[in-house]
Amino acid sequence: MTDAIVAERLGVRYGDVRALADVTARIRTGEITGLVGVNGSGKSSMLAAVLERVPHEGTVRILGRTPAEARRAGLVASVPQAETVDWDFPVTVRDVVTTGRYGRMGLLRIPRAADRAAVDEALALLGIADLADRQIGELSGGQRKRAFVARAIAQDAELLLLDEPFAGVDRTSEAQITEVLRGIRAQGRTVVIVHHDLSGVAELADSVLLLRGRLLHHGPPAETLTPERIAAAFGAGTREER
């Protein structure tokens, strides 16, 4: 089967600051892959480079296509970090989820019956149907994350990229998002997730990329998250991020 992401010598720099260097990796289709490392280890930069949101070195293929082709075909869904979202923005939860369907709509982005049904289904799947008409900022941290995951579900993408979906999230939301991600994997789709909790990622992911400005190791969680490798990734004696 075609790999979900093939990265060759991927690198990102912001001005003089190098965020990521020389990552060569194949992320398999139908798996959940975790990106693990300290703050500033290049996890978010890796996601940005895969989507070609930032200038990068090296090449990326998504499901055998160039990133631009994959984006236009609606194959990739992206769930942003909470800190990058303006929660005061005048949109409702339903508005946000509906934007997942924009790639399928005409120029005016008027939802058809199928789009509305997909949005309702995604809202129900994440348990936020009753919150659909709230302004997005009126939700709790976990509910906000669920809204963005619902958008990815409504998009019906083949590859989901999630940046810290469990940061600042309550237990109910975490369980619900986890269940949804496993459901996506069961459909043969691919999930790549930036994760801050080592035990959580060991439980959820099929494989882990351990990053520290470059790729330290890529393999199954048990093989990757050994005490030595964790020490190398997080610095002497520090196991948790921050």
Partner 1 sequence: MDPGLLDALLAPFAYDFMLRAILVTLVAAVACALLSTWLVQMGWSLMGDAVSHSVLPGVALAYILGLPFAVGAAVFGIGAVALIGGVRAASRIKADAAIGVVFTTLFALGLVIVSVTPAQTDLQHILFGNVLGVSDADIAQVLIVGAIVCATLVVLRRDLTLVAFDPGHAHAIGLRPRLLHAVLLGALALTVVTALQAVGIILVVAMLVIPGATASLIAVRWDALLAWSVGITVAASMVGLIAAFWMDISPGGAVVLTQGLAFGLALLFGPRRGLVIRWARARRHAVDGG
Shortest separation between residue 149's beta carbon and partner 1, angstroms:
12
- Each residue 85-124 as x (binds partner 1 by CB under 8 A) or -, in order, gives xx--xxxx--xx--xx-xx---xxx---------------
Question: Rounded to an integer, what distance in angstroms lies between the CA atom of residue 82 and that of residue 52?
Answer: 20
Residues 6+ apart with CB under 8 A from 229: 210, 216, 217
Question: Rounded to an integer, what distance in angstroms lies between the CA atom of residue 119 and that of residue 2?
Answer: 29
Residue 150 touches partner 1, criterion: CB under 8 A: no
The binder of partner 1 chosen from 36, 51, 131, 177 (CB under 8 A): 51
Shortest separation between residue 16's beta carbon and partner 1, angstroms:
11
Question: Rounded to an integer, what distance in angstroms lies between the CA atom of residue 112 and that of residue 198?
Answer: 42
Of 83, 84, 5, 11, residue with least CA distance to 42: 11
Cβ proximity to partner 1: between 20 and 93 the closer is 93
What would the two tokens of residue 125 be? 């799947």
Shortest separation between residue 208's beta carbon and partner 1, angstroms:
23
Three-state secondary-structure class, residue 123: helix
Residue 84 touches partner 1, criterion: CB under 8 A: yes
Cβ proximity to partner 1: between 95 and 121 the closer is 95
Other C-beta atoms closer than 10 Å to the C-beta of 239 total 13
Longest dimension (CA), the chain: 56
How many residues form the binding site for partner 1 (CB under 8 A)?
A: 31
Cβ proximity to partner 1: between 146 and 218 the closer is 146
Amino acid at 6: V
Q: Which residues bind partner 1 (CB under 8 A)?
A: 51, 53, 68, 71-74, 76-78, 80, 84-86, 89-92, 95-96, 99-100, 102-103, 107-109, 135, 151, 155, 161
